[in-house]
Amino acid sequence: MTELTHKSIVDGWFREANDECFPGQAFTLKVEKILYQAHSEFQDILVFKSTTYGNVLVLDGIIQCTERDEFAYQEMITHIPLYLHKNPKRVLVIGGGDGGVVRELLKHDCLTTITQVEIDETVIKLAKKYFPGMSKGLDNPRVEIKLCDGFIYLQDLAQLSNQDKYDVIITDSSDPEGPAEAFFQESYFRLLKNALKDDDSLIITQTSENVWLNINYLKDLLKAAKSVFPNTKYCYTMVPTYTSGQLGLMVCSPNEKLDLRNPTRVPTKTEQEDLKYYNRDIHEASFVLPNWADKILNRS
């Protein structure tokens, strides 16, 4: 059997470099073994076992998750909107083929329907094989998986009745340079709004950026979202294997009076014991920005 190789792996180290998005800096991880490497219909996919972060999923050269720190992202993108909603029943996940968000959603007994729309079946198959801790919920009977483009799914949904709409929609996509490009534009936020059940509903998206790298992009993204949801706020999660050690999230509500920084509900004692990252205090703290970033994103 030929040993696998990948252009991002040299001398046994994976190197995350992107001259356009974060020139002049690159994070590297030591590779124990390449587990999978292929071009799917949609993207370049790499899975490797690292020496200190467990298995690592890389799409189009960008680290999506590592087994050691993935909970920081999955918990925050899931529980921030879930604990902001007073009584969520139906949740839609756009992307998230690795299953991490679904695993977190299943911790909420109140949910009746979890719909996941993933464009790339390969990602789901690889998650089941190489990330069992993340993908373990994908076969749960409360979970319905649709293999299609999230943008088109939402367009079709606009025709449906109110009862088929959602309380929370989580966009857990890859970055805009690739199949997820459409998820970072105003037209997408309009589709999201149409797919929400009512004023209590919420959406959250990963922004693909953080305040250190491209704050002007974030400002524009917030502006696009605010044109549809005036109540939009930036928050973030700290993930050591993401560029700069943090990733921005954006949460939006059709209800202008909802304070997004303060969760409507708090985890029960049993729920809290099952959470490694999220708690009430870190929900609030994740909206607090360094002064210069706060000025640009929240006060201009």
Active site residues: 172
Shortest distance, CB of residue 218 to its own copies, whole angstroms?
15
Q: Return the range that interacts with its own copies (CB under 8 A); candidates 18-26, 39-47, 104-112, 167-175.
A: 18-26
230 binds its own copies (CB under 8 A): no
160 binds its own copies (CB under 8 A): no
55 binds its own copies (CB under 8 A): no
Identified binder of its own copies from the candidate list 3, 20, 41, 281, rule CB under 8 A: 281
Q: Which is nearer to its own copies, 34 or 145 (CB)?
A: 34
Shortest distance, CB of residue 177 to its own copies, whole angstroms?
19
Shortest distance, CB of residue 207 to its own copies, whole angstroms?
16
Q: Which is nearer to its own copies, 204 or 228 (CB)?
A: 204
Q: Which is nearer to its own copies, 5 or 28 (CB)?
A: 28
Which contacts of 177-183 are long-range, i.e. CB under 8 A and separated by 24 or more positions? 177/20, 177/21, 177/60, 178/42, 178/43, 178/59, 178/60, 179/42, 179/43, 179/119, 179/120, 179/149, 180/95, 182/151, 183/94, 183/95, 183/150, 183/151
Q: Distance (Å, rounded) from C-alpha 76 to C-alpha 212?
A: 20
Identified binder of its own copies from the candidate list 42, 183, 234, 277, rule CB under 8 A: 277
* Residue where the block lists tokens 């709409």: 165
Q: Return the range that interacts with its own copies (CB under 8 A); candidates 48-56, 116-124, 138-146, 218-226.
A: 48-56
* Residue where the block lists tokens 């088929």: 164
Binding mask 115-154 for its own copies (x = CB under 8 A): ----------------------------------------
- A 10 A CB-CB count for 100 gives 28
Q: Return the range that interacts with its own copies (CB under 8 A); candidates 139-147, 166-174, 176-184, 273-281.
A: 273-281
Task: Pick the closest to residue 189 from 169, 172, 174, 214 (CA basis).
Answer: 169
Cα-based distances in Å from 33 to 13, 52, 58, 67, 240: 10, 12, 14, 15, 21
How many residues bind its own copies (CB under 8 A)? The answer is: 42
Q: Distance (Å, rounded) from C-alpha 83 to C-alpha 132?
A: 26
Shortest distance, CB of residue 43 to its own copies, whole angstroms?
24
Contact 26, 43 (CB under 8 A): no
Identified binder of its own copies from the candidate list 44, 52, 119, 130, rule CB under 8 A: 52
50 binds its own copies (CB under 8 A): yes
51 binds its own copies (CB under 8 A): yes
Binding mask 25-44 for its own copies (x = CB under 8 A): xxxxxx--------------
Q: Distance (Å, rounded) from C-alpha 7 to C-alpha 58?
A: 12
Q: Which two tokens stand for residue 276?
A: 């490694």
Task: Pick the closest to residue 36 from 149, 156, 101, 128 (CA basis).
Answer: 128
Q: Amino acid identity of 201? A: S
Contact 104, 78 (CB under 8 A): yes
246 binds its own copies (CB under 8 A): yes
Interface with its own copies by CB under 8 A: which residues?
A: 13, 15, 23-30, 50-53, 69, 72, 212-213, 238, 240-246, 272, 275-279, 281-282, 284-285, 288-292, 294
